[in-house]
Amino acid sequence: MSSQNIKKYFLKGSWEDEYKEVTRDQYLYAEIQSSHNSVYGDKTEPSSAFSHGVISGRIECVKDRGQFIGYFDGSAIPNPGKMKIGGFLQDSSDGQIVISYSNELGNGTNNEAEYLSLIELLQSALSKGITKIFIRGDSKLVVKQVNGEWKCKKSTLIPLRDKCIELLSKFDQWTVEHVRREFNSEADNLTR
């Protein structure tokens, strides 16, 4: 089975759906291979990504029992305009969705909606007593700013970024990772 098929199977439904032959490890390997191929091209094996430190510890983070995987997204139509946020949190041990949300908000920008969606995901996870979280979103700006890789200069985003960092500090273990939009389609659908 190709890595693209594995990703399509995962995105189509939960782990208990008709695609039981796709394990979380297979899906994760497909994600790593896809990331690897976008960085290195198809000429080398994904194992070289491990030896070069490109995939540092992310596999253990996701496979760890008690770990939860969250996806978030936000939109503003038009931009700026009416904001909508959506996301969900999945238990990595059994694939069960433990949190799902889709909310309409007031007016704002797309980036504000993305931040507000991440805040909603983090607050919901903390209210359930979750201590380990692996988060994926398709907003490169939000992910890079929360991880401290990019500066946050816009005055309307600074308090939202600070709130995310404050909430993340309450988790024992956390990762916030950027994914391409096609790998965030379920959260994206919740914003429509």
Per-residue pLDDT of the chain (192 residues; tens, 9 = 90+): 444 444 444 444 444 444 434 455 555 555 544 544 444 444 333 333 333 333 333 333 344 446 899 999 999 999 999 999 999 999 988 889 999 999 999 999 999 999 999 999 999 999 999 999 999 999 999 999 999 999 999 999 999 999 999 999 999 999 999 999 888 889 989 888
Q: Within this chain, do residues 44 and 77 fall inside the same structural domain, yes or no?
A: no
- Does the pTM surpass 0.85? The reply is no
Q: Within this chain, do residues 50 and 72 fall inside the same structural domain, yes or no?
A: no
User: How far, in Å, CA of 151 to CA of 134, rounded?
Assistant: 22
Q: Residue 152's domain is classified under what CATH number?
A: 3.30.420.10
**The pLDDT of residue 136:** 96
Q: Is residue 130 part of a domain?
A: yes
Q: In a 3-state reduction of DSSP, which class is residue 144?
A: helix
User: How far, in Å, CA of 80 to CA of 146, rounded?
Assistant: 22
Residue type, 119: I
**The pLDDT of residue 28:** 53
Q: Within this chain, do residues 21 and 92 fall inside the same structural domain, yes or no?
A: no
List the domain range (segments joined by +) for residue 49: 3-56
Q: Within this chain, do residues 19 and 113 fall inside the same structural domain, yes or no?
A: no
